[in-house]
Amino acid sequence: MLVIYGGRNDNIYEETNNIGLNDICIFNINSKTWESLAIFGEMPCSRWAHVITQVRGDSKEDEEGFIMLGGVNLKSYCSSTLWNFTLHD
């Protein structure tokens, strides 16, 4: 899978006073399809220039997900909080 969180869209500044996005999309490499994800709970601020890596356990019963760190937005550098996302069916 390929995970995209946020990004930058300069075209939305006049509407939102922001160019940072905070949506999550996953690209399934096998089926070549995109899926938008819903986030429950606390949500990171919009950002770009961050790092995401996949987290996978050793067995099929382990939860899958990804972690995210860093990035920037119009206001500042994003905090060094490590965000842990768990994927559920």
pLDDT at 20: 81
CA–CA separation, 13 and 20 (whole Å): 9
pLDDT at 31: 96
CA–CA separation, 89 and 73 (whole Å): 31
- Residues, the chain: 89
pLDDT at 32: 96
* Sign of the C-alpha dihedral computed for residues 23, 27, 33 and 35 taken in this order: negative
Q: Per-residue confidence at 27, pLDDT binned at 50, 70, 90?
A: very high
Mean pLDDT of 21-34: 90
Residue 59: is its pLDDT beyond 70?
no
Mean pLDDT of 8-12: 86
